Structure 1
Amino acid sequence: MTQSKMIKLLTFFCMIISFSHAQTVDEIQQKYITALGGKSKLSTLKNIYQEADMEVMGMVMPAKLWVVYKTAMRQEIDIQGQKIATFVGKNSGWTINPMMGSTEAQPLPEDAIKGYLGMLDPGGELSSFKDYGYAATFEGKEAVNASDAYKIKLAKDSSETILYIDVKTNLLTKSITKGNAGGQSVEITTLFSDYKTSPEGYVFPYSLTINNPMIGEIKSTITKLDINKPVDIAELEKKN
């Protein structure tokens, strides 16, 4: 076999592998969307309001979350009477954190805003990764809590997210987000469990376990969930 033929065969082989991986990601994406109720169902999910108990280092902190999909979100966490508020829109965001000695809104860095943007999509990052400009690759299977899961890497600029989709349920069971915080590389791992279907037919994980190297382990359990009830964006934007 001549050298030129060998190069052509290797090129063809690499193209097959690349196409196979892309096809696999698209197939997993479609199964994932179907598990959440389907594309048409997700398109009717306009907003949510949720209350949760967050347990950190033995303390239980009430938290509230408002999400107007495709538009904005606001989160409030009560820590011993001190309220931490965070707002994120498509292109900007801020936080008020009296625990850091400030009662004034401080702008969020660009990397932090990017980390929240997946929450503005009713199906999360995987359902619309192409719209967000992510490059997606299928990286095989790994066990998550003794169950096989598809491993998909989403990458864009300096950020990287690894998603684990359960082979049987086709739901998200784990994510690993890599980015920068204060000039340092940070890796945050989140486990998703206790999926429930709301009376309206939407699927949500009611339990999250987050491992943040800067804070430690955070366990969050949803205690209340309102869906598609009126939300005033102006109220979410208020810096108080």
Structure 2
Amino acid sequence: MKKISLFVSSLILLLGTTQVLAQNADEVINKYIETIGGKQKLEALSSTKMELVANYQGMEIPVEVSNSKDGKMLVKINLMGKEMTQVAFDGVSGWSTNMMTMKAEKMASEDIENMKNTATRDFPDPFLNYQQKGYKAEYIGKETKEGTECHKIKLTKLPQSINGEKIDDVTFYYFDTENNVVVMSEAEIKEGPMKGQMATSKMSNYQEVDGIYFPFTMNQFGQEMTVKKITLNSAIDSKALEFKAE
């Protein structure tokens, strides 16, 4: 009987701990959503257009990133005075410019499938109504990142297709405990020469745009990016998304 009682007590303790962690995850996420503008304003967004400058080896490269609620995405860069489309996705199919040949190429079927899974679900924020999207959030605990105390949340999204295999899509997010905003994210690279390494993104300098807060300073793979302007609810040019074969 003592062994059974001990087992039951341990089970209750385990379930109780799990419930507390789940509750903490939602508390952190809810504070974050409220801090950056609130659920109602985020749900009302139809699109975002971000104009930024990426610093690459001392060279400033203008970049324009547009996303919409219906899954459209357009990424344009200006390289030495020449504008080119880096990513164009209309919600169904997509294409990009091969930086070696400088020619337009249609996206592979796996890339299209992955974009379909995330394009609408992650707009305007993956944490907005995350449970309805089929995502799972887990509270890991507190951790200090670059001198800032953070809540660490593990977000598991829908699996990605990588070389014919379904791979869990997991990202760790760090929320500043004082300001309730995301300051860093980490995700394992699934393919390519850097496979297995952690891709780290940093976000700071949050500023308000029409009642919603966005990070205006970002760093990805050590590359600094500074946002110059953000425009909300402007339509993405459908012609710019059309495949342009040469």
Give 2:239's aligned amino acid: E
Matched residues, number: 231
What's 2:119 paired with?
117
The TM-score with structure 2 as length reference comes to: 0.83
Counterpart amino acid of residue 117 in structure 1: A
Which residue is equivalent to 1:30?
30
Letter in 1 for 2:13: F
1:237 counterpart = 2:241: yes
Q: Secondary structure of the equivalent of 1:43?
A: helix
Selected match of 2:175 from 165, 178, 191: 165
Helix, strand or coil at the partner of 2:22: helix
Compared CA separation, residues 116 and 88, structure 1 to 2 (3 A): farther
Partner of 2:205: 194
d(CA) in 2 for partners of 1:132, 1:2: 44
1:236/1:82 Cα in 2 relative to 1: closer, same or farther (>3 Å)?
closer
Matched residue, 2:226: 221
Shift, 1:38, TM fit: 0.8
The alpha carbon displacement at 1:185 in A equals 2.8
CA distance in 2 between counterparts of 1:182 and 1:159 reads: 16
CA contact (8 A) 2:137 2:153 kept: yes
| Contact 1:68/1:120 (8 A) holds in 2 | no
Measured in 1, the distance between the counterparts of 2:145 and 2:59 equals 27
Deviation at 1:238, TM superposition (A): 1.7
Q: What residue number does 2:104 align with? A: 104
What TM-score results when the alignment is normalised by the length of structure 1?
0.85
Report the Cα distance in structure 1 between the residues aligned to 2:4 and 2:19, rounded to whole angstroms. Answer: 23
Given the superposition, is the C-alpha separation of residues 236 and 7 from structure 1 closer, same or farther in structure 2, using an over 3 Å criterion? farther
Matches of residues 36-185 of structure 1 in structure 2 within 5 Å?
36-80=36-80, 81=82, 83-88=84-89, 90=91, 92-97=93-98, 99-101=99-101, 103-108=103-108, 109-110=110-111, 113=115, 117=119, 120-122=122-124, 124-156=125-157, 157=159, 158-182=168-192, 184-185=195-196
Partner of 2:163: none
SS in 2 for 1:169: coil
Q: Deviations over 1:141-197 (max 9, x none)?
A: 112332211100112442210001111111111011224123833421111011111
Residues 171 and 91 from structure 1, CA distance in 2 versus in 1: closer, same or farther, beyond 3 angstroms?
Answer: farther
Is the Cα–Cα contact under 8 Å of residues 160 and 179 in structure 1 kept in the other structure? no
Root mean square deviation of aligned Cα: 2.4
Point out the more displaced range, 87-96 or 186-195. Answer: 87-96
Closer, same or farther: CA 77–131 of 1 in aligned 2, 3 Å:
farther
Q: CA deviation at 1:70?
A: 4.1
How has the CA–CA distance of structure 1 residues 218 and 76 changed in structure 2, closer, same or farther, with 3 Å as cutoff? same
Gaps in structure 2 of 5+ consecutive residues = 160-167
1:214 corresponds in structure 2 to none
Report if the CA contact (8 A) 1:92-1:113 is conserved: no
Report deviation, 1:226. Answer: 1.6
Letter in 1 for 2:242: K
Q: In structure 2, do the counterparts of structure 1 residues 57 and 131 end up closer, same or farther at CA, with 3 Å as the change threshold?
A: farther
Distance, in Å, in 1 between the alignment partners of 2:120 and 2:218 is 16
The sequence identity of aligned pairs, in percent, is 24
